Amino acid sequence: MNAHIPFSDTQAPFEFVLFGGTGDLAMRKILPALYSAHRDGLLAPEGRIIAVAQNELDTAGYLDWVDVSVRPHLTQARFDESAWRGFRERLSYVALDASQPGAFSRLADALSPASSRQIFYLATGPSLFVPICRALAQAGLAPPTSRIVLEKPLGYDLASSTAINDAVGQIFSEDQIYRIDHYLGKEAVQNLFALRFANVMFEPLWRREWIDNIQITVAEELGVGGRGGFYDQTGALRDMVQNHLLQLLAIVAMEPPQSMEADAVRDEKLRVLRALKPLTEAALHQSVVRGQYRAGVVRGESVPGYLDESGIRADSTTETFVALKAEVENWRWAGVPFFLRTGKRLARRVAEIVVTFKRPPHSTLGPTALLAGSNRLTIQLQPDESIRLSTLAKRPGLGMTLQGVYLDLAFDRFFRQDRMEAYQRLLLDVIAGRLALFVRRDEQEAAWRWVAPILDLKTAPKPYSAGNWGPAQASALLARYGTCWSEEEN
């Protein structure tokens, strides 16, 4: 799992087929990431990108769409007109209805029969995953050398996820299937491995004896926007907790793997997911808070409530916020609470992991030592990626007054080269055939199994005003354990 991808690994010719080629994800993330890889010389000159969608366009019309829709999402600081022209030359377009197997002959005609590295990226709704895979097989486009990339959400619950995995697994072997979770491609997540397994000072402290609690937060300022119909069928639990947050928990809590090979890493994550303490009925009411935003103010602007958004049912009980306490029942973590939180229309956009260490068993430095706070390690994933270690120091002057200070690893100051975006890293891993940063089927099913009792909750979500940090019950959840969310510390 090297942070730097060896140049030679991505230099073999490939054909990258992007289903949903005119969709939002293609426009904002996938095509910009592929452009960045092209600009940086990380794609084979013979590599081709074939976009597939229902829109009745030809390649020229698609390139016009790319100029208008994709180019504004590129990092303008490193935009290069010559590289953009070269990237456009890689692109072609095939119009077909992915639900019609007979139409896939058009795609077969557009691909090279001699290509040994064909990648099919399904940036579509999960309802199309199985029909597309079956149509690819029927058209002779699923050889053992091909790869299939599945976007989240993979199903609606454990049963539907299992059904999709069973059907896709009849066509593609497990080592051909890349279940993508873009949080695993973030630089700060990669650095979490380095922090734990390359620095001897942290590993002895990474256990129940020294850690009081761990918080994992993914907060958004935005509402559902134009995705109301989709989001109302999904909710925060399926959209964020089952995948992103549980994957981050697994990486934080995993044992050191034997190596950084794909299955060695994924085996250790799976052990954590299987060690999660099951949520009983009593625990659900004590340890889970679901919320739904009401009208409020975000960054000085009034915003509507969830029920007033386009595409939302008037009586919807879909949650836009989840906070919960999880426990990992193993030797390393027994008794340490893991607090997970995610939501829309919160006070600010942030994704972070906060490790709070226990206080010294006895203070010899007076009462201010008790008031100054605990040591904390904060791994921030967005909007900026950094690692900060909060410690205590004596304030200058008379007496022993302690104050929090910190050591800050700000990547943009320490590393002058540009950081690789998560999707760029993950797409290059797909092209190179590296599976370590992708979710294995048994991991995914273990996560679905754990969240299943929360999905069955029938209680109405707690209201919270947009621009706040969620329902008051989320703060009360941590208060019961003698702690608070990181932004409430000061």
For the chain, the straight-line distance linking the first and the last C-alpha, in angstroms and rounded, comes to 37
Largest CA distance in the chain: 82
Question: How far is CA 76 from its chain centroid?
Answer: 24
Q: Element (H or E) spanning 53, and its range?
A: strand 48-53
Neighbours of 460 (CB within 10 A): 11
Pick from 489, 477, 482, 468: nearest CA to 219: 468
Whole-angstrom Cα distance, residue 52 to residue 24? Answer: 14
Distances in whole angstroms, Cα of residue 17 to Cα of each of 99, 100, 118, 206:
16, 17, 7, 42
Query: Is the separation of the CB atoms in 246 and 331 below 8 Å?
Result: no
φ, ψ (nearest 5 deg) of residue 266: -70, -30
Cβ-based neighbours of 299, under 8 Å, separated by 6 or more: 221, 467
Tokens of 272: 């954590």
Residue in 4, 38, 244, 285 annotated catalytic: 244
User: Are 447 and 244 a contacting pair, CB within 8 Å?
Assistant: no
Instruction: Give the bridge partners for 218, in sequence order.
Output: 342, 351
Q: Is 362 noted as a catalytic residue in this protein?
A: no
User: What is the spatial distance between Cα 195 and Cα 198, in angstroms, rounded to a whole number?
Assistant: 6
C-beta separation of 279 from 287 below 8 A: yes
Catalytic residue set: 244
